[in-house]
Amino acid sequence: MSARSDERNALSALIRSRLDEGADPATVVSDLTRLVEVETAREMALRGSQEFVDLDSIVDDDALLKSRPSLYYRSGVVAVGSENGRLVLAASAQPDDDLFHQIDRLYGAVARVAIAPRSALDALWQRRRSYLETALACWMEHSPTCGDPSGTPRRWVSPPAGGTGEAGDEECSVSARFVNDLITTAVHAGYEQIILIPRADRVQIRNRGSGIVRDWFDLPREHAEVVIERIKSMSCFDLGVTESPQDGRVKLRVVGGSGVGQAVDVHLSLVPTTWGERLSLSISEPRTYVCSLESLAMQDHSAETLRRAVSTPGQITVIAGPARSGRVRTLYAALLSMETRSRDILVAEEKIQADLPGITQAVCRPGLGLSVQELLRSFLRQHADVVAGPIRCYEAIEVMMKAAGQGTTVVALLDAPSAVDAAFRLTDMGIEPRELAEHVGLLHAQRLLSRPCPNCRRMRPLGIDERRRANLDNGVIERLVGVKTGKPPEMAEAVGCASCQHSGYRGFSLVTDQILLTGDVKDAVAAASDSREVRKISARFTSPSFNDTGASQLLNGEITLESFLAL
């Protein structure tokens, strides 16, 4: 006890003497903290029969660069040197069996594991990051065309005045500027997604624009670590986790040429692969989701049918489609087509793409017990006029049918490639054909097809063989065009120019597939015995179908023959 008391008295005397000499109190506290860390690490090494090292005497930069980020962020382990061809590691605490197992798996055989103060290890890590940031800056300096969609020379964005560009200056670091410039370029070029794919010798960076995935440029593997780390940190991902998927979302403001900030949402997804972590950055602009049905370029007949269906109380309108088919944007447009000031509209969403004026939106959190069906039940207790949400299970559609039976207007999202498949999916979930015919008023399915670039597309006559492949005879063409024409029908051909990044496509065309459950259709579906019979009946009454709307878009030059044949 007296030894402890003597240590405290000596420490107090040291603090008083430093303050009497005029030292800054913050500096005194920092120095004492480092001193305590050193002594704690020394005691820990002695207790565990481990070596306590002075890092300055053994640090080797080549070994430092071989450090694994996951082990540093998880356990504070850094590679500091080498002996006889094996790495020497330093840790801030006595390694346990689990940590030794991770070291064996990530590093293989090591010479030894020494004990060092955590502050010294953190300083070493910042030194390592500064080296990697400088290397990335040198690569960017000699790669002036990287990331430019047109391939014309330009320089990457440099750190702003006052920014150090160092690893410690997180927002102004080279990696931060790299990522910001990458996202800014993608937004200005109209890309929907950026994909970072680790390969054996590089990280391949690709983009998706107008639904088409293209190679962008390659990033050397030695420069990828700080870039991926920056993306993970801006998404609040766990930097110490590299073997589990992670998902996140970040809101950014991209400054354009006019200096006006443009709000974008970036949805990030990380998947561990053989060669490292694969990252996907999906870019969306919230302002594009607040739109009208007319702005969706949907055919007038389909838009009017959808508008009438969502305005009819006591029935369910199902909006279906595959991934990246624009279902959420159509849902938002359908809800905004209602008179929001005189109706109470509540929406359950898995993720909110944009704030809708006059509409209440709630996010599902299944991990917290807040599922779609629980939210829908809460909506009914609040006597909402209109409810909307995704269908993932029988319980959700069961609540929706109950709402429709009470006179509530219901709009549902469903993963299904067509209207016929939507009817099959619903009955396959457990809904009786009679219930489907009673509660569902419209099955609306849609797909987005790449639109030929209007600046470079080439119109040419549709050949006889091509008409045969597309199953377009003269009667079908006259029905779709509306009048008899003496000249052969034409179609668009993708060419490629600077405005579409030489892909031949820019933007999307919307094709729809609808089944209106009224009259004979309702009676036929109600009399069906099972889901297979519902599919057959639905196929007979689909109007318009994907073939109809697709053929009309083809003859108007809105899609190419290849896109039409892929329907």
Residues in contact with 50: Cβ distance below 8 Å, sequence separation at least 6, in sequence order: 44, 94, 113, 114, 115
User: For 77, phi and psi rounded to 5 degrees?
Assistant: -100, 130
Provide the pLDDT for residue 383.
92
Provide the pLDDT for residue 49.
52
Evaluate whether residue 550 is within a structural domain: no
Evaluate whether residue 344 is within a structural domain: yes
Whether 342 and 440 share a structural domain: yes
| Residue keyed to tokens 């299944």 | 366
Whether 301 and 407 share a structural domain: yes
Query: Which CATH number goes with the domain that contains 329?
Result: 3.40.50.300
The pair of three-digit structure tokens given for residue 87, joined into one six-digit string: 């790495």
Whether 278 and 301 share a structural domain: no
Cα–Cα dist 289/194, whole Å: 20
**Nearest alpha-carbon partner for 443 in 350, 303, 309:** 309
Whether 206 and 273 share a structural domain: yes
Evaluate whether residue 70 is within a structural domain: yes
Whether 211 and 279 share a structural domain: yes
DSSP state of 462: -
Cα–Cα dist 66/225, whole Å: 12
**Nearest alpha-carbon partner for 326 in 509, 560, 559:** 509
Annotate 149-180 with DSSP letters as a single string: TT----PPPPPPTT---STTSGGGSHHHHHHH
Provide the pLDDT for residue 167.
35
Evaluate whether residue 329 is within a structural domain: yes
Q: How many domains does the chain have?
A: 3
Evaluate whether residue 5 is within a structural domain: no
Annotate 204-271 with DSSP letters as a single string: EEEEEETTEEEEEEEEEHHHHHHHHHHHHHHTT--TT--SS-EEEEEEEEEE-TTS-EEEEEEEEEEE
Whether 405 and 518 share a structural domain: yes
Cα–Cα dist 208/218, whole Å: 15
- Boundary residue ending a domain (284, 314, 344): 284
Cα–Cα dist 97/112, whole Å: 15
- Boundary residue ending a domain (246, 269, 284): 284
The pair of three-digit structure tokens given for residue 561, joined into one six-digit string: 């023959």
**Nearest alpha-carbon partner for 249 in 351, 356, 390, 354:** 351
Supply the range of the domain harboring residue 214: 143-284
Instruction: Enumerate long-range contacts of 265-270, CB under 8 Å, 24 or more apart.
Output: 265/353, 266/183, 267/351, 268/231, 268/235, 268/237, 269/245, 270/232, 270/237, 270/245, 270/246
Whether 96 and 163 share a structural domain: no
Whether 404 and 521 share a structural domain: yes
Whether 264 and 359 share a structural domain: no
Evaluate whether residue 77 is within a structural domain: yes
**Nearest alpha-carbon partner for 227 in 153, 279, 265:** 279
Whether 266 and 304 share a structural domain: no
Whether 253 and 318 share a structural domain: no
| pLDDT tens across the length of the chain (567 residues) | 455 555 556 666 766 776 677 777 777 666 666 555 555 555 555 555 555 555 655 677 788 888 888 888 888 888 888 888 888 888 877 777 788 888 888 888 787 787 777 777 888 888 888 889 989 988 888 775 554 554 444 444 443 333 333 333 455 688 988 998 899 889 888 899 999 999 998 999 999 998 889 999 999 998 999 999 999 988 889 888 888 999 988 888 887 654 457 888 999 999 999 999 999 999 988 888 888 888 888 888 899 999 999 999 999 999 999 988 999 999 999 999 988 788 999 999 988 888 899 999 999 988 888 899 999 999 999 999 999 999 999 999 999 999 999 999 999 999 999 999 999 899 989 899 999 999 999 999 999 999 999 899 999 888 888 888 888 877 777 776 655 556 678 889 999 888 888 888 988 889 999 999 988 888 888 888 777 788 888 888 877 788 888 888 888 889 998 888 887
